[in-house]
Structure 1
Amino acid sequence: MKRRRILTYLCFVGLLAIWLIGFLALNVDADPPRPEHTKATMPEITLDELEAAENELIEAALLARSTKLEDVTITFYCCEERPHICGTGSGITASGRRVTPYVSCAVDPAVIPLGSTIMIEHNGEMLYLRADDTGPAIRGNRIDLAVQGHQEALSLGVKTADIWWCEE
């Protein structure tokens, strides 16, 4: 009798194990469902859009720590390497850097320290310059922006704009 009970008990446990394995096999999914809040809901963003957003943040940070100068006179000089009205033609600025068109500009160091980043809003975009040079005619709220050639410098004339400068 005892043997029969043990055998019945083992059969019952075996059938229960088979049923449990079958149940688990049918209900186990390879990819369990994720709750709604964990699904990605952000649209795809391109590398250009990401870079533009990053540049906006950098620009905002620079502007936040910058000094604004209003109604600054902007003139232009050329990078031609020969002595003429635009300069000595050496190609070296007062800071010791090579003059770089559309990057280098001359400033009055009493107003803007050499090496500072200068930002000018032009046609809805921000231009970034570096205060590399000085000049005898550059006094007060005036900057002289380096361009490629003498004719270009003459054709650009004189402009007035608000600028921001940020010491490095």
Structure 2
Amino acid sequence: MSNQSMKSQFLESLRSKQTGVRIFSVVLFVSVIAFVLYHGTKTPVMLTADGETTKIYTHATTVDELLTAQNIDYTKYDKVSPSLSTSIDSGMSIEWEQAKEVVISVDGNQSKVWTTENVVKNILEEANIEVTEHDLVSQSLDTEVGADNKIDIQKAFQLTLVDGKKERQVWSTSTTVANFLKQQEVQLGESDRVDKGLEEVITPNDKIAVVRVEKVTDVVEESVDFAIEKKNDSSLLKGKEKVVSEGKKGKVERTYSIVKENGKVVSKKLASEKVIKKPKTKVVSVGTKVVTANVSRSTEPSSGKEFYVTATAYTPNCAGCSGISAAGLNLRANPDMKVIAVDPNVIPLGTKVWVEGYGNAVAADTGGAIKGNKIDVLVPTTSKAKSWGRKKVRIKVLK
């Protein structure tokens, strides 16, 4: 091939390469311009997703399109601000918070909720679950829910607690009597008891009674009655008694074991006793002397203490009379007996006497009006009593 031909081919090849370069440059230029134009028309926004904020550029026209473009798979429970239909504006801030599933158990009954809230109190409010100050919640209301996303609630109910003598209404979330007493800080003594079994399950409006049992020892000094010894005395009229020596009570120390329930004594047993002072026996003489009355008249005795008395008469059937004399004689059965009523301080009962105009008699009766130097003579009939009347007579006290 000639030099001229080779030169022509070289020039043609060079021109072809230059043309290709020019075309590539044009395509590159157009691509850069298109890229710049494409990205230059994007709208800048601030996107916060689950707490992390990123600045992005987008051609999306709504919040919904933006989230879709960012491959964010949101649900109806998620929190999006502003709303999905809101138009995109330059520089706007968009927040997306993904909802989580929280399990809430109320007295063992579980329910599931989707929420974007983190604080326990807010989660419960959103789920329309009301808790009171007496309810037991597994976590503090003001803290964030735990990593397991579970909230356990035990609802409180009201019941009556009787502790000894004190009764009050209380709230409880306990299931057994033992847990309830522990929750109420009720301590049981060694002898105390509860009216229900400690493992028994409590229910609303129950009444739990704690009986406070107290065992004490009481030492007291008590008096002991004296014995009475009676001895027959033939010098005393039958039916009469005379104290020979006064009795005196003794003293003993007794120890009692006492059981109290709620302050009231329910048991008192004598544990031991010790005599401190022995009692002194009272001795009494009992009269055995029987008085007899002589119904015959006799002449005036030659001896005896003599003095004058005012004499009246009465019958066995007089008003207020029992028919039995002070010395025990049956006057109604023996109305003709010679008996006089006397003041025992002047003429002792049982004394034999002679009465002027009446004869021998025995002092065997008394009377409310017979005081001092006065006597009342027994006659069988009212007419004889009236006939006797009231007169001063001479009397002799015989041996």
Q: TM-score normalised by the shorter chain: which range applies?
A: 0.5 to 0.7
With over 3 angstroms needed to count, the CA separation of the structure-2 counterparts of 1:121 and 1:155, relative to structure 1, is closer
The corresponding residue for 1:74 is 311
Which residue in the other structure is 1:165 paired with?
Answer: 397
Residue equivalent to 1:151: 383
Work out whether residues 105 and 146 of structure 1, in 8 Å CA contact, stay in contact via their aligned partners in 2: yes
Q: CA deviation at 1:76?
A: 0.1
Describe the superposition over 1:116-146 as per-residue Cα deviations: whole angstroms up to 9, x where unpaired.
Answer: 1111233xxx710110100000001111001
Q: What is the Cα deviation at residue 67 of structure 1?
A: 1.7
What's the RMSD between the two structures over aligned residues? 2.3
Answer with 1 or 2: which has the greater Rg.
2
Taking structure 2 as the reference length, what is the TM-score of the superposition? 0.23
| Relative contact order, higher structure (CA 8 A, sep 6+) | 1
User: 1:112, 1:131 → 2: CA distance?
Assistant: 7
Alignment match of 1:59 (pick from 285, 301, 315): 301
Instruction: State the distance in 1 between where 2:377 and 2:337 align.
Output: 7
Q: Which of 139, 142, 149 is the matching residue for 2:374?
A: 142
Residues 1:111 and 2:330 are matched in the alignment: no
Aligned counterparts, 1:8-157, within 5 A: 59-60=301-302, 63=303, 66-70=304-308, 72-80=309-317, 84=319, 87-88=320-321, 90-99=322-331, 100-101=335-336, 103-122=338-357, 127-157=359-389
| Larger helix proportion of the pair | 1
- The answer to whether the 8 Å contact 1:79/1:101 transfers is no
Distance in 2, Cα, partners of 1:107 & 1:121: 15
Q: Deviations over 1:41-76 (max 9, x none)?
A: xxxxxxxxxxxxxx87x933xx2xx22112x10100
Give the superposition deviation at 1:155.
2.6
C-alpha distance in 2, partners of 1:103/1:59? 16
CA distance in 2, matches of 1:121, 1:93: 22
Structure 2 CA distance for aligned equivalents of residues 102 and 109 of structure 1: 19
Identical columns (%): 36
Is the Cα contact below 8 Å between 1:77 and 1:145 reproduced in 2?
yes
Runs of 5+ in structure 2 lacking a partner? Answer: 1-297
Cα separation, 2, equivalents of 1:149 and 1:103: 13
How far apart, CA to CA, are the structure 2 residues paired with 1:108 and 1:149? 23
Count of aligned residue pairs for this structure pair = 99
Shift of 1:102: 5.0
Query: Normalized against structure 1, the TM-score is what?
Result: 0.52
**Match of 1:109, SS?**
coil
- Runs of 4+ that moved beyond 4 A: none
- Kindly indicate which of the two structures has a greater share of residues assigned to strand: 2
Alpha-carbon distance between aligned partners in 2 of 1:77 and 1:95, rounded to the nearest angstrom = 16
How many Å apart are 1:151 and its aligned residue? 2.5
Which blocks of at least 5 consecutive residues in structure 1 are unaligned? 1-54
> Contact (CA 8 Å) 2:301, 2:354: kept in 1 or not?
no
Which residue identity is paired with 2:350?
G
Cα displacement string for residues 72-130 of structure 1 (whole angstroms, at most 9, x for unaligned residues): 101000122xx61xx42x321001112243501100000001011111233xxx71011
In 2, are the aligned partners of 1:118 and 1:129 still within 8 Å (CA)? yes
